Amino acid sequence: MFKEVRPKDDAEWLEMRAGLITATDIGVLLGLNKWKSVAELIEGKENFKPFENSYTWLGQVLEPVVVEATNKVLSTDFALFEDGSRSFFMNEEVRLGATPDAGTKTTLLECKSTKPGNYLRWAEWPPAYYLSQLYTQLMCTNRKTGYLAILSTNLTQRDENLNIPIHIHKIKRTKELDQIFLDTVKDFWEAYDKGKVYRVNRKRAPNIELMLRFQTEKIYE
């Protein structure tokens, strides 16, 4: 069972994350995130150093905007999980956890913002590691469906009609994908505890990506 905890501060939250595979890590283990290796993932957990650049800073600042924009175009009632403290969902036995951005009692919203070029490229085919991140959050919070909203940072508009540059995808869980994710986390920790190198199954990665995309539909652009 996953439980919701409220870390007292960022230091405690980061300490909790260090002993778990998190939603942002899972794409690395599944072979869906080409920007980070397993070695870098492990190094980050064993020797954590705070990291922030203009992209990560802007992404955090714009989370409330993405929530507001999503609610406006979909007539939903998503709200940020953070209300002065983080909501962290974790299972210490499985050693898996997630910090979702926003949600309701039945679903989640993952908030992303990006530059115009990425926004256009991702309109039909969002990054698979974003989908795996959201999928892990659904597992950790015991929700069946989630929304991935990607907002463009280019807000140029030439007419008076409100045009919010956002596209939104909806993803649903399946038992098969749940098991793949859980088995992957188990395999990683078994290798790590034995001092062995966890090797990403690159041959399986395209199939997992297709399974995620098969469960995903674009609902707004």
Task: Report residue 191 as tokens.
Answer: 């290798």
Give pLDDT, residue 85: 61
Tens digits of per-residue pLDDT, 46-105?
Answer: 887 665 566 667 677 889 999 999 999 999 999 998 765 678 999 999 999 999 999 999
Q: Report all structural domains of the chain as residue ranges with CATH numbers, in order of start.
A: 3-220 (3.90.320.10)
Among 60-64, 79-83, 189-193, 205-209, whose mean pLDDT is lowest? 79-83
- Output the CA–CA distances (angstroms, integers) from residue 178 to 3, 101, 163, 173, 208, in the order listed: 17, 20, 37, 7, 11
What's the pTM?
Answer: 0.93
Give pLDDT, residue 130: 97
Inter-residue contact 155 to 58 (CB < 8 Å):
no
